[in-house]
Structure 1
């Protein structure tokens, strides 16, 4: 059994991503994960990450929904179990559409029936029970807008209601024409005329078109003229969530995942520093390290004074950027690289603007890891002052930074 107290947060994150998140994958790829089970599994992961448990209460510094975002969006890349469950179940809907001769598909089709076109079964509408396919079929709704069709014979693709011509169904692109269509459920092959006189699209409307509708009809015809029915070929389903057109669990998961932060310095994960240092920089970027200000916000009655300078309020940005003692490290760094630099107002903005193209290739790695080393050095020194009651030594602070760098 892992001993949490001996593993850094960076190490715990690695174990969660490699082990704890992977353990329920087989179950989630077949069954819908009950909400209580999912919440329990997420609690185990949260407690392991932040060091808490049944017998101790450690603060969870960042909300779990943010932790579960990918690193480019400001998260830690931990898989959200609900989204992962949906993506894994969605794989079966994709396989059902393309594996025409598979035995398992024949069994499912025989039990539930197949919709016209043969891309999926009918919706399982029974009130009771938690059948395996019942849960899988529900997840097709999340996939529908990302399923398009490559027309071959046109016998399995709806002319108006399926996505085969552009990014949306024709019934949404041209709703007024759809309203007067004589065959709203027509297949593509039924609207395509290939008699001896030539090939052409022949949609039929319920009334004579008005003069003001001619321009719209012209746009409509120009849009579908780029496509042809090839009766010797089969219709195929295309997954628009990936550039290859082939479904993948990863692409569906990315679609289910919310956007997150528009700008985040995810380069901290590429810097050549230990995982625990990168994790600390991630916490600092969100302003969530446990400074005295953060402790006050969490309800602790404490005097708020920076442990380093003993004069200012201890906020994240003050401690790591603007404290006079910390500025000594920044000035040392800039003198080592021979640059003039103005620090931003926050840790996040500082890291976002930390570009090292001007320092040269040989020193770029050191430049990228330098701010993270300063953050870690200052935090360790601050904790020595807070808990070990040691006196501040600027010489020791600089020496520690140079050694870490």
Structure 2
């Protein structure tokens, strides 16, 4: 597939909370659906394909192993060497060196009931056994000796759902387990704003907007200074927060909407400023603050683009007029936060 991408496709396919756009990743979806076969092969003996030698990759088996627990009852279906049945862990986790001494064909068929009967599991051990293996063997012996089987059937538990039953959705989400949460996703995606504004903030948060600094990194033509303040090189942080022209726009907009919050710090992100300012904002105005945090950077970016492509001189008054017009449009379109903050004389219905 040709072309140049703004953002890596794997990043795009991550959930919103993890910094992506929530587009379905087909590779992960396929993995989740294949695990359904593994689940049904262990929980539904009436399937027509039961007994077939289904082939699964190490990645699929590893994810299934990490996602399941076995509650032992009669021990007739729980696998002694493979399943996580000893206090939520498997022999592989508790005694990895001892596990390697077990032939592969025995690992997949030895049930807990068979293994416990007459300590048959000990006779599965093959090969050279060293001191470490003996230590793990003794520990395993102590744990197994405390297990008492019952008349209830074994129950396989899926960790990622409340009812313990597999679902493709929960499996898909589990593939992102351990990922770092994007710190700005709630500001971008939970507030009211047109999709193009949210998309702009998503790109800005990833530093994928075509500022002069990004153009310079690509060896493309660019202006050496910020077109709005003519003082410093243009980065996305400078343009939206640190630029003296932008800070005037922030100050005037916050004053006009009577939001009792300080200006963003020069070295802070919009997300950090919004998080701190939200706690100091009266509850009725918190939705207003969120909308302002999305709208003002968007309007600064549009004004900057007009200076670049239409060659108009930067004008604070023109920018503030456009911000006020956009505030009215957002309020009319359904932004309740801005509707609360607008003067009563402004008819937005």
* TM-score interval for Structure 1 and Structure 2 normalised by the shorter chain: 0.7 to 0.9
Structure 1 CA distance for aligned equivalents of residues 290 and 221 of structure 2: 38
Are 2:68 and 2:159, in contact at CA under 8 Å, matched by a contact in 1?
yes
What residue is the counterpart of 2:232 in the other structure?
Answer: 312
Match status 1:331 vs 2:251: yes
Measured against aligned partners, the alpha-carbon deviations of 1:108-158 in whole angstroms (never above 9, x if no partner) come to 23xxxx3xxxxxx4245xxxxxxxxxx799844542332322222211222
What residue is the counterpart of 1:97 in the other structure?
Answer: 42
Structure 2 CA distance for aligned equivalents of residues 259 and 186 of structure 1: 33
What residue is the counterpart of 2:205 in the other structure?
Answer: 285
What residue is the counterpart of 2:303 in the other structure?
Answer: 381
Structure 1 CA distance for aligned equivalents of residues 254 and 137 of structure 2: 63
How big is the shift at 1:357?
2.9
What residue is the counterpart of 1:149 in the other structure?
Answer: 70
Q: 1:73 aligns with which of 11, 18, 24?
A: 18
**Structure 2 spans left out of the alignment, 5+ residues:** 124-130, 328-349
Change (3 A) 1:171 1:286: closer
Change (3 A) 1:344 1:89: farther
Structure 1 CA distance for aligned equivalents of residues 35 and 28 of structure 2: 10
What residue is the counterpart of 2:156 in the other structure?
Answer: 237
Change (3 A) 1:138 1:64: closer
Measured against aligned partners, the alpha-carbon deviations of 1:8-52 in whole angstroms (never above 9, x if no partner) come to xxxxxxxxxxxxxxxxxxxxxxxxxxxxxxxxxxx5xxxxxxxxx
What residue is the counterpart of 1:251 in the other structure?
Answer: 170
Measured against aligned partners, the alpha-carbon deviations of 1:340-383 in whole angstroms (never above 9, x if no partner) come to 34525253653674551331221111111212111111011111
Structure 2 CA distance for aligned equivalents of residues 378 and 223 of structure 1: 67
What residue is the counterpart of 2:340 in the other structure?
Answer: none
Measured against aligned partners, the alpha-carbon deviations of 1:180-219 in whole angstroms (never above 9, x if no partner) come to 99x98753223557xxxxxxx968757xxx9xx9999579
Task: Identify which range, 371-380 or 135-144, moves more after superposition.
Answer: 135-144
Measured against aligned partners, the alpha-carbon deviations of 1:218-238 in whole angstroms (never above 9, x if no partner) come to 79646874x54222x322322
How big is the shift at 1:263?
4.2
Give the TM-score normalised by the residue count of structure 1: 0.66
Structure 1 CA distance for aligned equivalents of residues 37 and 249 of structure 2: 56
Match status 1:188 vs 2:133: no
Structure 1 CA distance for aligned equivalents of residues 60 and 100 of structure 2: 29
Structure 2 CA distance for aligned equivalents of residues 202 and 344 of structure 1: 69
How large is the RMSD of aligned CA atoms in angstroms?
3.5
Q: 1:362 aligns with which of 270, 273, 284?
A: 284
Give the TM-score normalised by the residue count of structure 2: 0.76
How big is the shift at 1:161?
3.0
Are 2:211 and 2:234, in contact at CA under 8 Å, matched by a contact in 1?
yes
Are 2:74 and 2:153, in contact at CA under 8 Å, matched by a contact in 1?
yes
**Structure 1 spans left out of the alignment, 5+ residues:** 1-42, 44-53, 115-120, 125-134, 194-200
Structure 1 CA distance for aligned equivalents of residues 28 and 294 of structure 2: 32
Counterparts of residues 162-173 of structure 1 (less than 5 Å): 162-173=83-94
Are 1:292 and 1:302, in contact at CA under 8 Å, matched by a contact in 2?
yes
Q: 2:241 aligns with which of 300, 315, 321?
A: 321
Query: How many correspondences in the alignment?
Result: 312
Q: 1:271 aligns with which of 191, 203, 206?
A: 191
Structure 1 CA distance for aligned equivalents of residues 177 and 136 of structure 2: 39
Are 1:329 and 1:401, in contact at CA under 8 Å, matched by a contact in 2?
no
How big is the shift at 1:318?
0.8
What residue is the counterpart of 1:296 in the other structure?
Answer: 216
Q: 1:159 aligns with which of 80, 89, 94?
A: 80
How big is the shift at 1:384?
1.3
